[in-house]
Amino acid sequence: MIQNPILPGVHADPCICRKGDDFYIAVSSFEWFPGIPIYHSRDMKNWELYSHALQNAENPDLKKLPSAKGIWAPCLTYCEEDDLFYVVYGVMNSMNARYFDVDNYLITAKDPKGPWSEPVYLHSTGFDASMFHDDDGKKYIVALDWETRTAYEKPGPINIVEYDPVQKKIKGMPKTFWRGGTDRGCIEAPHLTKRGGYYYIMCAEGGTGYYHSVTMGRSRNVWGPYEADPCNPIVTSCPGDVNERSDWDHLKPRYYNPDSVLQKSGHASYVDLPNGETWLVHLTARPFVPELRCTLGRETAIQRMKWTEDGWLRMEKEGNLAQEFVQESMLPEFKAQKIPAHDDFDSENLGIGYYSPRIDARTFVDLKSRPGWARLRGQESGCSLNRVSILARKLTSVSAQITTRLDFTPLSYQHTAGLILYYDNMNFIYLYKYYSDTLEHSAISVLQVENGEKREFSQDRTFVEDGQDIYMRLKIQGRDSQFQWCLDGETYQNIGSRFDTSKFSDEYSQFGEFTGAFVGITCGDRMMHEHTADFDFFGYQADETAAVK
């Protein structure tokens, strides 16, 4: 059986495509770099991180963008006629006053590993833009037409416009053509496909929260009109039909379904296989209850689907409730390459699974000066939206142990280095070594930033010698997150308070939304941006079958 989610941790807005026997999923990356992770599989069950579509940190420039802005909802497609992969993505620049200022771009490549072309600007009419390749050679861009006027329904309808691949621009202005297949409201995530003479529009409705869902419509003409699937929504975590068009809030926690492990199920795309199978990937989340806080963010799940005789898409099992366990494909098993649980930093290149907020980690990580160690050059504080030296992995389970070994000599209280659990620049906890003016010596201590309020646990500071390596550990056991340390790598002792893991979530954060928690190593030099810290290894052990409760 396949256990959902197939991509645990921060993997929102999945889009799937196929080239021959290979399947690829692209997901959102928001303010994290490198951008647009792309996963690969051949059996729908085992997935490996294959590449990133955005490798140039200056284009787009994510620096100073607030949390959860940046790269939204990539659409990954393959056009057999062109033998090219296409990615359409949005750069969300601002959501101030609910204007949603976004720029949409298109890039192409022969292989998802790249190289990818320079971005082509499409339009800024709204977010979740995607591309459709018609069988007559024409190409179309569909997107949410974000509504800004006070007296109109939010977020707005879906629009369509033809794309000219020769001129590399859209032809005319986008035209409204679909307002949804239900009255759940908050329509978004449009994808156009074609099958059996019908054009199908797949969308998410209900908001990317607890009333999220997958809906469909179809037409004989790409421009419409489209008829709604009579069984909408076709996949959801909350069956039922309530008119919520007047409620523009995306979260809607009142629709939490206690009978489902998978919540927030929606924002989907599907792929037909030559063997007759049809598979759909969708966004989902697993909250702590009763707080309804999703520390792991919005994840990616998969469902087996089938086409009815009258040409509608349905879950293979009866009903429309997203399933935690799904029967495997008939495809041969694929041995995916997993990200190692222990990284000794023996390579001269960073592993593929590392991310940094807003900037390229290669600008502050040195793997060559001290072979076998990662040398991080300190920059701004973890609260900055600009240049922060955090080298992180996605947290994929609330049962995890993260360990590192630090060699660091601070010369000022402005010099810090250590281990961090980070949701965004306003919410993180940090076990760090620094220079204590009170002790007149180096020390380790714990710092917390909770919704922008900083708290230093001075009572927990501990005298440590320079020139002696320190082992640091973070143990996450469900709701409890606890830092530990030792000198020998064996006899760990607790330091600081236990922290509430659930607070590192969309629902608790007052400044960010749509992302999830990361864990990593970090170094700060808020004096000259040049002092360094050396890390011998980074260990990440997680039980991804553990339940979130």
- Concatenate the DSSP letters of all residues of 392-426 into one string: EEE---SEEEEEEEEE---SSTTEEEEEEEEEETT
Query: Which residue(s) pair with 419 in the sheet?
Result: 431, 521
Per the CB < 8 A criterion, the answer to whether 441 and 533 are in contact is no
Cα distances (angstroms) measured from residue 168 to each of 131, 139, 165, 444: 13, 11, 5, 55
Confidence of residue 98 (pLDDT cuts 50, 70, 90): confident
How buried is 141 (Cβ within 10 angstroms: 0-12 exposed, 13-18 middle, 19+ buried)? buried
User: For residue range 256-283, what is the model confidence (pLDDT) as tens digits?
Assistant: 999 999 999 999 999 999 999 999 999 9
Q: Which pLDDT value is given to residue 383?
A: 98
Confidence of residue 97 (pLDDT cuts 50, 70, 90): confident
Q: Where are the domains of the chain?
A: 2-326, 342-542
Q: ∠ CA 133-135-141 to the nearest 5 degrees?
A: 25
Q: How far is CA 386 from the centre of its chain?
A: 20
Q: What percent of the chain has pLDDT over 90?
A: 95
CATH label, 2-326, candidates 3.10.20.30, 2.115.10.20, 2.40.50.140, 1.10.760.10:
2.115.10.20
Residue 325, pLDDT score: 98
Q: What SS3 state is found at 479?
A: coil
What is the distance between the alpha carbons of residues 213 and 207, in angstroms, rounded to a whole number?
8
Q: Is the pLDDT of residue 537 over 90?
A: yes
What average pLDDT does the structure give for the chain?
Answer: 97
Predicted pLDDT of residue 388:
98
In a 13 Å sphere around the CA of 220, the CA atoms on its Cβ side amount to 0
pTM (global) more than 0.95: yes
Q: Which residues form the catalytic set?
A: 13, 188
Predicted confidence at residue 400, as pLDDT, reads: 98
Tokens of 254: 């009142």
The pLDDT assigned to 159 comes to 98
Please give the Cα distance from 169 to 191 (Å, whole number).
Answer: 19
If you search the block for the tokens 């689907």, which residue do you land on?
305
Radius of gyration of the chain (CA): 24
Mean pLDDT of 165-188: 97
- In the predicted model, what is the mean pLDDT of residues 359-388? 98
**Is pLDDT above 90 for 172?**
yes
CB atoms within 10 A of CB 80: 10
- Cβ–Cβ under 8 Å, residues 68 and 55: no
Cα distance between the two ends of the chain: 22
- H or E element that contains 326: strand 325-326
Q: Domain spanning 342-542: which CATH class is it, in words?
A: mainly beta
**Residue 450 predicted with pLDDT over 90:** yes
- pLDDT score for 99: 85
Structure tokens that stand for 542 in this block: 């997680």
